[in-house]
Amino acid sequence: MAEELDMTRIPQHIAITMDGNGRWATERNKPRSYGHQAGVDTVRRITSECVRLGVKFLTLYTFSTENWNRPSDEIAALMGLVLTSLEDEIFMKNNVRFRVIGDMARLPEEVQKKLRETEEHTAKNAAMTMVVALSYSARWEIAKAMREIVAEHQANSSEPLRPEMITEEVISEHLETNFMPDPDLLIRTGGELRISNYLLWQIAYSELYFCDTYWPDFNEQDLQKAIASFQSRQRRFGKTEKQVEEKENN
Ligand code: IPE
Ligand code: IPE
Ligand code: MG
């Protein structure tokens, strides 16, 4: 059954931890890479559905820094999938801009090249931005931001860096995600109730939604359910219920 959604309150930015590919495949007596392949089809469907609903940013956790510790054949299969699944068609058909966040330098050369090309080809697409987090972890990102702040200051000034120069805005501007707003909604499929080093800074006030469905089985209705849950909540940002209601009525 399709959910009744309030189209005026669609989350602007949805982040997803796409988990459960391996278990989905194992339950079918297939290699884990078969689950990752199936997961790519889900990415296509969910991307189209997000565009249809008017979501502006979709950030997909695709490969974490910690995932480098997986068996090398699984890593190779995942890198292969990144290469083959980045067809321009899905982006052009849906008018989607593609961006990558993460430690690109660790990726194989040809993957880096394909990612850059896809970013360039899709740069003018404006319906939605799809952001793929690859070789990404939030602690890596935050530590890198700190190093950049210091390095930029040293390159531009002979004065010592003053502590008060480190503000929340300056930190945000140096994160990989500096071109987009923070996620309104974070969805994790696959049943685990954890964050796994994803967007730690940016999800400070995101609404969280966890579901048991494995990523290859996650469909448009499941996405609508997550958005309906988001819409049923009151985001208070520290204020009282009454304060928020008064603001909404003005
Ligand atoms: C998520 O699925 C995809 C990646 C981390 C690359 P998993 O591969 O973690 O699947 P499970 O959690 O083992 O089922
Ligand atoms: C999180 O999934 C990373 C991605 C979905 C890319 P994992 O399956 O790697 O997370 P943990 O290790 O179980 O927390
Ligand atoms: Mg997993």
Active site residue 212: no
Q: Are 99 and 179 in contact (CB under 8 A)?
A: yes
pLDDT, residue 89, reads 82
pLDDT, residue 2, reads 62
Q: Could you report the per-residue pLDDT of 39-53, keeping only the tens digit for each? A: 999 999 999 999 999
Ligand closest to CA 35 = 1
> The tokens 């000034």 sit on which residue?
157
Q: Is the pTM of this model over 0.75?
A: yes
What CA dihedral angle connects 147, 199, 170 and 57, to 10 degrees?
A: 130
Q: Is the CB of 67 under 6 A from ligand 2?
A: yes
pLDDT, residue 1, reads 52
Query: What is 8-136+181-242's CATH number?
Result: 3.40.1180.10
Which segments in the chain show pLDDT lower than 50?
A: none
Q: Are 75 and 102 in contact (CB under 8 A)?
A: no
Atom of ligand 1 nearest to the CA of 23: 14
